[in-house]
Amino acid sequence: MPATTPALTLPAPAKLNRMLHIVGRRQDGYHELQTLFQLIDLCDYLTFTPRNDSAVTLSNALSGVAHDDNLIVRAAHLLQQTSGTHQGVSVAIEKHLPMGGGLGGGSSNAATTLVGLNHLWQLGLSNATLAELGLTLGADVPVFVHGHSAWAEGVGEKLTSVMLDTPWFVVIHPGVSVSTPAIFQDPELTRDSLPITMARALQGGAPEWRNDCEAIVKKRYPPIAEALDWLTQHAPSRLTGTGACLFAAFDSQQAAQAVAHMAGQHWHSWVARGLNTSPLQDALGR
**Residue 15 a catalytic site member:** yes
Q: 98: cis peptide before it, omega within 30°?
A: no
Measured on CA atoms in the order 150, 103, 219, 250, is the torsion positive or negative? negative
Q: How many residues does the chain have?
A: 286
Catalytic residue among 15, 44, 212, 218: 15
Q: Which residues pair with 92 in a beta bridge?
A: 47
Q: Which residues pair with 154 in a beta bridge?
A: 33
**What is the per-residue DSSP string for 147-209?**
TB-EEEEETTTEEEE------EEEEEE-S----HHHHHH-TTS---PPP--HHHHHT-STTTS
Catalytic residue among 44, 140, 212, 218: 140
Measure the CA–CA gap between 162 and 169, rounded to whole angstroms: 19
Reduced to 3 states, what is the DSSP secondary structure of residue 117?
A: helix
Check: CB of residue 143 under 8 Å from CB of residue 14. Answer: no
Reduced to 3 states, what is the DSSP secondary structure of residue 32?
A: strand
84 membership: H or E segment, kind and range = none
Measure the CA–CA gap between 145 and 104, rounded to whole angstroms: 12
**Residue 219 a catalytic site member:** no
Beta-strand (E) ranges in 83-143? 89-94
Q: Which residues pair with 17 in a beta bridge?
A: 37
Reduced to 3 states, what is the DSSP secondary structure of residue 11?
A: strand
- Catalytically annotated residues: 15, 140
